[in-house]
C-alpha cells in the first residue's frame, strides 16, 4: 500500500475502470468525523501525485492500530464538500479530494492486517479493497432513536431562552455538551454521549 504503486484505474480518459485507494486519516480528523454526521469526507493539502479520480473506490483507515473505519467513492468537489469537519456551514475548499461515504464503521472500526499506507492517499490493489470491504459485513439494521439536549437557560422570555440555547449549542458543540440518546420506546435505557462516546453523567457513580 504505497503511493508509488501503479494506478489501478489506468492513465487514459477512455479507461473508466474504477481504481481503489486507501486514505489514512490523522487521529484528530477521525475524532472530528465521529462527532458530526457528514455525507462526505473532504481532504485538503494532499500531494499532487497519487490523485484518485471520480468513481474510484476508497477505504478509509486510521492508525495505532491500523483499522478500517469507512468505505466510499471519490466524487467531484461541489456544494456537498466542507472545508472544516467541525463546521457544517464552511465553504468547500478548492482542489480538495472529496469522498462520498458508502459505508461507515466509525464507532466500531475493523482491525486491518499488514502495513499502513505510505502517505495520506495511496493506491490500493482492487482485491485488497474488496477483502477490506468484505470484512465490514452487511450494514446493521437501522432503528429509531430519541436524542435530546437539555440546558438550563436563564432568560426573560421563551424566545430569548431559545436564542441563548442555540448560541450555547453552536459555541460548545459535541465536544463539550452531553447529548442523551435512547431507543424509541425505551427511555430508561438512556445514555449520555460526549465526544462521540458514552459518558457517565452521574457524579455519585464516580465516587
* CATH code: domain of residue 96: 3.10.590
Q: Is residue 73 part of a domain?
A: yes
Are residue 125 and residue 157 in the same domain, yes or no?
Answer: no
Average pLDDT over residues 54-66: 94
Q: What percent of the chain has pLDDT over 90?
A: 43
| DSSP code string of 120-167 | SEEE--HHHHHHHHHHH-SPPPP--EEEE-------SSHHHHHHHHHH
Single residue among 118, 136, 154 that ends a domain in this structure? 136
At 145, list the grid cell: 432513536
For residue range 151-168, list pLDDT tens digits in order.
Answer: 999 999 999 999 999 999
pLDDT at 118: 84
For residue range 97-155, list pLDDT tens digits in order.
Answer: 899 999 999 999 999 988 888 888 999 999 999 999 999 888 888 899 999 998 999 99
Single residue among 117, 136, 155 that ends a domain in this structure? 136
Amino acid at each position: 500500500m504505497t503511493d508509488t504503486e501503479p494506478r489501478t484505474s489506468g492513465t487514459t480518459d477512455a479507461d473508466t475502470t474504477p481504481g481503489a485507494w486507501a486514505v489514512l486519516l490523522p487521529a484528530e480528523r477521525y475524532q472530528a468525523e465521529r462527532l458530526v454526521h457528514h455525507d462526505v469526507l473532504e481532504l485538503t493539502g494532499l500531494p499532487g501525485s497519487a490523485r484518485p479520480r471520480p468513481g474510484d473506490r476508497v477505504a478509509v483507515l486510521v492508525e495505532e492500530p491500523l483499522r478500517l473505519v469507512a468505505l466510499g467513492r471519490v466524487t467531484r468537489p461541489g456544494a456537498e464538500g466542507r472545508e472544516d469537519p467541525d463546521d457544517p456551514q464552511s465553504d468547500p475548499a478548492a482542489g480538495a479530494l472529496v469522498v462520498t461515504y458508502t459505508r461507515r464503521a466509525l464507532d466500531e472500526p475493523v482491525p486491518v492486517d499488514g502495513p499502513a499506507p505510505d502517505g495520506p492517499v495511496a493506491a490500493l490493489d482492487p482485491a485488497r479493497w474488496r477483502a477490506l470491504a468484505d470484512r465490514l459485513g452487511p450494514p446493521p439494521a437501522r432503528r429509531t432513536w430519541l436524542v435530546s439536549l437539555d440546558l438550563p437557560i436563564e432568560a426573560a422570555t421563551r424566545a430569548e431562552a431559545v436564542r441563548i440555547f442555540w448560541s450555547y449549542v453552536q459555541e460548545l458543540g459535541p465536544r463539550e455538551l452531553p447529548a442523551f440518546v435512547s431507543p424509541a420506546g425505551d427511555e430508561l435505557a438512556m445514555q449520555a454521549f460526549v465526544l462521540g462516546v458514552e459518558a457517565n453523567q452521574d457524579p455519585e457513580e464516580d465516587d
